[in-house]
Structure formats: C-alpha cells, structure tokens
Structure 1
Amino acid sequence: MALNTTKDSIDPSVEFADSEPPARISGIAETPDDDLTSRTKKRRIKNPSIGLDSGLAPGYRARRINTRPWSKGVNDYATQGTLLNDMKQMQLLREPVLRTSKTWNGDRLDGMIRSKKVNIEAIHAQAVGTELGDEECCSSCSLGHGPFLTCVKVPNASEQPQVCANCHFGGNGERCDLNKLQQTGKDCYG
C-alpha cells in the first residue's frame, strides 16, 4: 500500500528525515539558530578573585563551595568524620583569592577543583580555615607556591600533620612545614 502524499499536503512543522535535529545541551533542546554567546554566558562560571587583597568577605566562589557542586566530594560531604563533612558545617570566613601569577578563568579553576578531592578540600579550607600571618605561614607559601594568595590552615581534628590549603591543593601536603613549625614552638595558630 503506497502513501499518496504531495509536497503541499505535508505539515511544515514536521521535520524531514534529512533535516538537522535540534542541538541538545544540558538537556535543553536548542535550535541551531540560537545565539551562541547568550547560551555560553548563562553557563559560564564566574572568574575567581585574583589580586593582592585577601580580606574579601565570602562572595561568589565561597557560595559556590557551599553548594558542593563537585561530584568527587559528594560521598565525603555526606560521610560524618571526613574533612569535607566537618568543613561544610563551618562558617564561611573569606572569599578564596588567587595569586596574581595565576591566570585561571572560572571554568578552568572549576575544572581543576573538580578533578581531585584534595582540591575540593583545599578551596573549601581556604574559605573556612584559619588565615596565618606572614610570620606564621609555611615556607612554601612564603616562596609563592600554591594557587591561593594567603596561607590558611586546613581544619584538622585528627592527629594527621597540619597542612595549609596551598600545599594541600594538588596533593602536595608533604611540602608543607606547618607541622614542623608547630613542633619547634613557632605559633602556627593565628
């Protein structure tokens, strides 16, 4: 049985088999004619604070930390006794500020944080931990290592060696000498 259809009898709202389907981004159907710049602006993550002032009140990045958007840390945020679970109950004290030597935009920084659980812990610690003064900070921070402008202690209730968020970022905690400074009598608790 053959279908007798003419070009005029076809509903123009029906797509033909050889037509291009609408693009799918984040579960939202979008036509190819949509303005690409408006779509990217909506999804773009704000750039981090970069500069010389570390005394900023909690802002965009600190609020983003509190929403816990990174999947690598989900289990630890939910498991009592873990570092992330302990920190989620602490008050946000400051906006994490990056060193001027870092040229990361918001999406790149977010990708770096998302890639490792220690990076999630580090940025969260940067927002809730104790900020150390120049005379108290670890030697790595004094030399300008790590992404963050200031040396901030990672909150630690266990007997593990004390580290700062800069050294914790990327899993470089072994280079931090806060624990050694504490044992030699230097005050590491701001």
Structure 2
Amino acid sequence: MQADPTETRLRDLMLASLDGDAAAYRRLLADVGKHLRPYFARRLTPAFASHAEDLVQETLLAIHTRRMTYDRNRPFTAWMHAIAHHKFVDHVRRQSIRLTVPLEDDPPIAAHDDNEDALSRRDLDNVLEQVPPRTSDLIRRTKVEGASVAEAAAAHGISETAAKVSIHRGLKSLAARFAGGSK
C-alpha cells in the first residue's frame, strides 16, 4: 500500500525536527496548523466556531511539549490526530457542549489503521487488564496517548501524586509479571 503524501511529508518534517532541524520544525507546525483548522471547524457548532483557533494553538502546544514521546516507527498523523482529538474532547467537557456529530464519524486526518495496529492494541489491552481499571486507564492516558499526569489525574478526580504512584506501581507490577517475577 502506498503511503499517503500528507503522512509522508509531515512524518519526514517531524523526524527532521526531532533531529534538530529548526526550519523543518517551523514548517511542520505551520502545516499541522493548516490541517487542524478545518478539522476543528467541522466539529464546532457555529456558537463555538471562534474557538477553533484556540484549539489549534492548544494542539500545537501539546505537540511541541510532547514531541519527544513520538514513536518514530508509527504514523505521525495518527499521533497528531490523537492529540487533536483529546484537545477537542477537553474543550467539549470544559464548555459542557452536547455533541451533535459523533466524533467517530470523522476518520483520522490521514493515517489508516491496519491489522498490525489492531493486534498491538489487543495485546496492550490484554496486558493492561492485569492491573486495576483506574491504573490501566492512567497508564494508557500517559504512556500511550501522551496525556500529562495532570490531565490523567484530573480525569479521575485524583491528585497528580496519587496518579504518579498508581502509574508507577502498575508499571512495576506489569514488569514483574511479564519478566517472570512475582507480584
């Protein structure tokens, strides 16, 4: 299957920027902004259309602060889309907006899902079933989806310290279980 040209261009810019190319990073952020504006505009009701640019900026800032968590072997647009999706959901929660269009109706910006990704997700789900549900969700949010500990803690109504402890203990338990140790 031939790679999507948008995915290829953005991924190449991201990889170059991670390797220290400041010009590639500026182009990446500009290009991502061009993709995010219509993405958010389609999702916002006319009453909140003015919030689109704020969401673009929040997403660009999140991409900037979490850029070192990007896995070079994964599609960039999928990673970018996940961040944008979470920023939109956070916005909806803050505004107490009732959605009129299901978020699932709109496909990812450019990436596609293949069988290997589905198998990886199933394996990850199986592993995370070994810890309590809240711990599992905290690990998924912070280590897989790129959310901050503060964001994950807020989603569960707990302190950042409690979230950090839960994540640490969960990861320690999983490492012991899958490294042949006992808990």
Could you tell me the TM-score, scaled by structure 2's length? 0.30
Structure (1 or 2) with the greater helix fraction: 2
In terms of Rg, which structure is larger?
1
Could you tell me the TM-score, scaled by structure 1's length? 0.30
